[in-house]
Structure formats: structure tokens, C-alpha cells
Amino acid sequence: MNMGPFAIIGNPVTSSLSPRLFSAAYPQLPREMYLVIEAPDAEQGWKRIKELHIQGFNVTMPFKTDFLNMADKLAPAVRQVRATNLLTLEDGIWTAWNTDITGVVNSFRGSGIDPAGKNALIIGAGGAGRAAALGLEQAGATVFIANRTLRPRLYPLSDIPSLLRKCTLIVNTVPCEGIDAAVINLTCAHTILDASYTLAPLRKAAACAGARYLGGYHWLYNQAVEGFAILTGLEPDCRAMRKLLDL
């Protein structure tokens, strides 16, 4: 068992549910074991991690790529997606992990949807989007990625309406307002997973179209189940975590 202390780091992060989720997962552990660190950049955040003798921490936006540079070792999935949402310290070695990958897949599976054989549209090619793409590809889905900045094998956001005609699963990692204007072809055949549980960018569009909507709490919960177990070496209380998030 890793006795901590642990933390979540990001910017902004003070409104994160992770501390409460950790307390629900491990009611036997003191609340002060899991801290919140809001830093202006990854370098300042890393300095605070060292000052507080943190033994493992969750990483949220906008540092999921930056903290790769602080790790001594990368889990295989991290090498593939080039992003991390979790670092742990053991025997002086920092290892970077990515639990967003299984978090996305288990969000669909936990809602009774098997991604295998389906077409999936990922909106956004940042760290969260790349993790979602890898997870769904490994689960047997055919993945299409639309992004604001064009790169090889990426579609422009303007192609989203046509992509929706062949994709039934949608993962949105773009939190900006106005993204709902791009999803004009949503129907009741679509299932949407939003990454952001605070902004919920596509909730209104999904409701108007009659599409099935999985809010960011699903993603938060499913990545945390694996992440907390890696952090502590203990199995979390999943029932208490789901109750907290009303899942």
C-alpha cells in the first residue's frame, strides 16, 4: 500500500471533484491525504509536488503532455498516446500512466454499449482525444478524429456533420462553447460521451436530438477506479464513488 500523500494537479483545478471522489473511494484514509495543486505551469507544479513530498498524483488539463517530461518511465499506453493523467513514485522512479484509455471504453461498456464493430467519432486530438481514440480502437471500433488544427489523418471540425452520418459513438474532448453547432446531424441513434463534467458542451444538443448522453461523470468515475488502485495499491469502494456521482 502506498501511504501518500497524493494530489491532483491542473489549471484550473480548485473545483475538481477528485478529492471528494478519493474520500468516497477510501473512507478509511484521512482526507488530507489527497491534495489539490493549481499551478501556472508544469514546472511550478512539479516544484510543488517535490516540496510536498507527493507520492503519486493525477494530472488534468492543461498538463497531460507536459508531465511526460518529468517521468522516468512511461507505461506502454502512454508512449502510444503521448499523454498522461497519472504519475506514481516507487523506489525513486516516477512512472507515467494513462487511465483515460480504459475510462472511455468502460464508460460505454458500463452503459451497455459494446464499441466493437462500431464507428466512433472523436472530437479533439489533444491528450484526452488521443487516449479515447486508442481505447476505442483497442476495443474494436473504427475511429475518426476531427480537430480544430489539421494534421495528417485528422478531419476538420467542418466535416463533423458528414462524419455523424457513419459514426454512432461520439467522444467530445473539446470544451469550447459553440461545438454544439457542428453536431447538427445528431439523431437518436447516437451515443455521446462528454469529457468535461463541468461544461457538458454537448448535453443540450443531445437532448434536442434525442441522442443518448453520457456526461463527464462517467469518464471521471471509470478512469478514477483504475487510477486510484494504481495510486494506493488498494481497491476503491466503487459503490460509494458511483453514489457520489449519481451514476
Position 178 scores a pLDDT of 65
Query: In the chain, where are the structural domains located?
Result: 6-98+219-245, 102-214
Position 175 scores a pLDDT of 81
The catalytic position among 64, 166, 204, 243 is 64
* Cβ neighbourhood burial of 93 (10 Å; 0-12, 13-18, 19+): exposed
Parallel, antiparallel, or unpaired for β 142-147 and 155-156?
Answer: parallel
Position 177 scores a pLDDT of 66
6-98+219-245 and 102-214: identical CATH topology: yes
Clarify whether 118 is annotated catalytic. Answer: no
The DSSP code for 50 is H
Query: Residue holding cell 488530507?
Result: 32
End-to-end CA distance of the chain, in Å?
28
**CATH hierarchy code of domain 6-98+219-245:** 3.40.50.10860
Give the up-direction half-sphere exposure of residue 15: CA atoms within 13 A in the CB hemisphere: 6
Position 133 scores a pLDDT of 98
Write the DSSP assignment of 57-72 as a string of letters.
EEE-TT-TTGGGGG-S
- Please list the rounded mean pLDDT of every run of 10 residues in the chain (247 residues): 91 95 96 95 97 97 95 96 97 97 98 98 95 98 95 93 96 82 90 93 94 97 98 97 97
Q: What are phi and psi of 49, to 5 degrees?
A: -55, -45
CATH class of 102-214: alpha beta
